[in-house]
Structures are given as C-alpha cells and as structure tokens.
C-alpha cells in the first residue's frame, strides 16, 4: 500500500455515497499531498456521490 490507496478509498467511498476526507493532517503528510497534487482533493470535505441504492433505482 502507498499513497495511491488514499485516492482509491476516496473514489470508492464517493461511489458508495459515503463522504471521505482527511482531517487534521500533519505537516509531513500535508507536504506529501501538496507535492503529489492531491491535498485539496483528499482534505476538502465534500458531498458524497450517489448512493448505491439510488444508482440501482434511478428516479
């Protein structure tokens, strides 16, 4: 496992309608996220994607 695991978890959670973000990130991890361009993506709380149930039964 490495840094690529975090975006995978973020996408998977969003796909399942679950919000995911990193909170209270320490300086070393924040720097790593900034260098890799994933800081905003992984640390900004946002809306979860559509739930699995709503994808099975669209309105």
| Cα atoms found within 13 Å of the Cα of residue 46, Cβ hemisphere only | 14
**What confidence score (pLDDT) does residue 1 get?**
79
Using CA atoms in the order 21, 4, 29, 37, what is the torsion angle rounded to 10 degrees? -80
Q: In the numeric block, which tokens belong to residue 28? A: 């070393």
| Contacts made by residues 37-44, CB under 8 angstroms, sequence distance 24+ | 38/3, 38/6, 38/7, 41/7, 41/10, 42/6, 42/7, 42/10
pLDDT tens digits, one per residue of 27-57: 999 999 999 999 999 999 976 555 555 555 5
**What confidence score (pLDDT) does residue 44 get?**
94
Q: Compute CA 59 distance to the chain's CA centroid, rounded to the nearest angstrom.
A: 26
- How is the chain split into domains, by residue range? 5-56
pLDDT band at 10 (very low <50, low <70, confident <90, very high): very high
């Amino acid at each position: 496992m490495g840094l690529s695991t975090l975006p995978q978890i973020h996408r998977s959670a969003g796909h399942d309608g679950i919000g995911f973000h990193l909170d209270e990130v320490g300086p070393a991890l924040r720097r790593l996220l900034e260098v890799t361009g994933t800081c905003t993506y992984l640390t900004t709380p946002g809306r979860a994607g559509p739930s699995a149930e709503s994808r099975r039964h669209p309105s």
